[in-house]
């Protein structure tokens, strides 16, 4: 009887059967339908069209996570057709990051020009006036800050945001939100914004410290080569591109899962620096006497990640690492020359919109 009720439901009559929870019996209410025709139609659909669903899909239970018992809705395997929206989001965020970086650079140059016009001779070794603060400790902090490179100055706000998100993971009431919006998962309801937010998300303290150490090690060289504006645009673009690479791989193997961390964007930084300065000598923190060229380092790292993708290793998101590294290498060969150096039309448009000449 229960089987017939299920077949009737598949024929479109969803409200004619209900389960009596007390006796476990199926109660049928009268309805003006041809039960025999419905039964035959359901059998034909079941035998001839197995690939097509003729009724409501079965619900998949909640997915357990490693985040202190937090459960989220499991969307099941991800189809490639569902990646169109994340792909468009990747293009919008990447393009918007470089547009914002261009405008930011324009505003910085404009501010320096205005200051030089007001106070000629205020340029001292590439830095603007050093404003003295009231109090001894503030002067010490100000002197220390001005002694840092542009890359070191940029490291602190990036690290601060990552630390804030790490502390948010420690709040039990926020963990449901953190899993939904700060973990990239192609099977989740929210698939776009987590591609960006997960770049600043770390659940483990070791994960956070390792990523921030590598970021600090390579940031100064990258910013010296790119400038802080171009670097930040590349960093944000690499974060969302690496998440898109992870989405594509999870859809290919039909196994959705959670990913978080800045390693995809940091791999872009590593790929760019190792491509731009291939002869630079690198070392391992635990083996300071063992050095190797940067060109060899990026090849070995990408080979390990490629093996992880092919062999199905689960410890890291190797697809995201490969996407980030490819982004950095591509930018080193073509991005700077064919995208960043071709931004003059955007600068002219913003200059006219901004109000023309410097006053």
Q: In the block, which residue shows the tokens 């490693």?
A: 66
Whether the pLDDT of residue 46 is over 60: the answer is no
Whether the pLDDT of residue 141 is over 60: the answer is yes
Q: How does residue 28 score in pLDDT terms, banded at 50, 70 and 90?
A: very low
Using an 8 Å Cβ cutoff, are 90 and 240 in contact? yes
Q: Which of 268, 260, 254, 269 is nearest to 317 (CA)?
A: 260
Whether the pLDDT of residue 36 is over 50: the answer is no
Q: How does residue 34 score in pLDDT terms, banded at 50, 70 and 90?
A: very low
More confident position, 42 or 232: 232
More confident position, 92 or 23: 92
pLDDT score, position 241: 96
**pTM of this structure:** 0.76
Q: Domain 80-108+148-352 maps to which CATH number in 2.40.30.20, 1.10.10.10, 1.20.1540.10, 3.30.70.580?
A: 1.20.1540.10
Reduce the DSSP state of residue 328 to 3 states and report it. helix
Q: Which of 186, 245, 229, 241 is nearest to 347 (CA)?
A: 229
Q: In the block, which residue shows the tokens 């420690």?
A: 170
pLDDT score, position 322: 95
Write the pLDDT tens digit of every residue in 54-66.
444 444 445 555 5
Spell out the domain ranges in the chain.
Answer: 80-108+148-352
Q: How does residue 133 score in pLDDT terms, banded at 50, 70 and 90?
A: low
Reduce the DSSP state of residue 167 to 3 states and report it. helix
- Of residues 245, 259, 263, 332, which has the active-site annotation? 263
pLDDT score, position 38: 43
pLDDT score, position 120: 62
Write the pLDDT tens digit of every residue in 150-168.
888 999 999 999 999 999 9
Which residues 6+ apart lie within 8 Å of 325 measured at CB? 267, 268, 270, 271, 298, 301, 302, 305
The listed range with the strongest mean pLDDT (43-47, 279-283, 286-290, 350-354) is: 350-354
Using an 8 Å Cβ cutoff, are 307 and 321 in contact? no
* The CA-based dihedral angle spanning residues 301, 307, 312, 315, taken in that order and rounded to the nearest 10 degrees: -20
pLDDT score, position 8: 34
More confident position, 86 or 146: 86
Using an 8 Å Cβ cutoff, are 42 and 10 in contact? yes
- Of residues 202, 249, 318, 321, which has the active-site annotation? 321
Whether the pLDDT of residue 350 is over 60: the answer is yes
pLDDT score, position 189: 84
The helix or strand, by DSSP H or E, that contains position 65, with its residue range, turns out to be none
Q: How does residue 114 score in pLDDT terms, banded at 50, 70 and 90?
A: confident
Give the pLDDT mean for 89-97. 95
The helix or strand, by DSSP H or E, that contains position 319, with its residue range, turns out to be helix 318-330
243 as an active site residue: the answer is no
Instruction: Answer left, alpha or beta for residue 268, where phi above 0 means left and psi between -120 and 50 means alpha.
Output: alpha
Using an 8 Å Cβ cutoff, are 108 and 153 in contact? no
Using an 8 Å Cβ cutoff, are 263 and 301 in contact? no
Whether the pLDDT of residue 291 is over 60: the answer is yes
More confident position, 307 or 5: 307
Q: Rounded to an integer, what distance in angstroms lies between the CA atom of residue 106 and that of residue 135?
A: 34
Neighbour count for residue 99 (Cβ, 10 Å): 14
Using an 8 Å Cβ cutoff, are 272 and 222 in contact? yes
Q: Which two tokens stand for residue 81?
A: 């057709």
Helix axes 228-253, 84-118, angle to 10 degrees: 170
Q: How does residue 147 score in pLDDT terms, banded at 50, 70 and 90?
A: confident
Burial 28-59 (b: 16+ CB within 10 A, else e): eeeeeeeeeebeebbeebeeeeeeeeeeeeee
Write the pLDDT tens digit of every residue in 300-334.
999 999 999 998 888 889 999 999 999 999 999 99
318 as an active site residue: the answer is no
More confident position, 232 or 29: 232
Write the pLDDT tens digit of every residue in 208-229.
999 999 999 899 889 999 999 9
Look at 78-87, 148-157, 341-350 and tell me which has the smallest mean pLDDT: 78-87
**What mean pLDDT value characterizes the chain?**
78
């Amino acid at each position: 009887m229960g089987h017939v009720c299920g077949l009737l439901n598949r024929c479109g009559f969803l409200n004619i059967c209900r389960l009596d929870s007390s006796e476990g019996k199926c109660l049928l209410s009268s309805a003006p339908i041809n039960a025999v025709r419905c039964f035959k139609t359901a059998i034909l659909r079941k035998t001839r069209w197995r690939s097509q669903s003729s009724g409501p899909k079965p619900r998949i239970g909640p997915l357990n996570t490693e985040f202190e018992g937090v459960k989220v809705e499991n969307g099941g395997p991800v189809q490639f057709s569902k990646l169109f929206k994340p792909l468009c989001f990747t293009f919008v965020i990447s393009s918007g990051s470089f547009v914002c970086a261009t405008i930011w650079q324009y505003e910085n140059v404009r501010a320096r020009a205005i200051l030089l016009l007001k106070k000629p001779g205020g340029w001292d070794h590439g830095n603007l006036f050093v404003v003295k603060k009231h109090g001894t400790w503030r002067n010490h902090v100000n002197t220390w800050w001005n002694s840092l490179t542009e890359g070191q100055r940029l490291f602190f706000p990036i690290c601060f945001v990552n630390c804030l998100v790490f502390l948010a993971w420690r709040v039990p009431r926020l963990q449901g939100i953190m899993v939904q919006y700060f973990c990239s998962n192609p099977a989740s309801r929210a698939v776009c914004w987590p591609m960006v937010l997960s770049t600043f998300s770390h659940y483990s303290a070791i994960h956070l410290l390792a990523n921030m150490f590598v970021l600090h090690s390579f940031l100064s060289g990258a910013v010296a080569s790119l400038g802080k504006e171009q670097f930040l645009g590349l960093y944000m673009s690499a974060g969302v591109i690496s998440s898109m690479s992870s989405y594509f791989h999870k859809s290919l193997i039909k196994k959705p899962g959670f990913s978080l961390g800045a390693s995809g964007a940091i791999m872009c930084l590593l790929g760019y620096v190792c491509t731009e300065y291939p002869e630079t000598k690198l070392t391992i923190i635990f083996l300071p006497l063992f050095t190797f060229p940067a060109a060899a380092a990026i090849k070995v790292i990408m080979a390990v990640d490629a093996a992880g993708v092919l062999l199905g290793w689960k410890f890291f998101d190797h697809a995201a690492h490969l996407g980030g590294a490819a982004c950095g290498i591509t930018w080193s060969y073509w991005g700077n020359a064919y995208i960043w150096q071709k931004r003059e039309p955007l600068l002219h448009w913003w200059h006219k919109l901004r109000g023309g000449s410097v006053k």
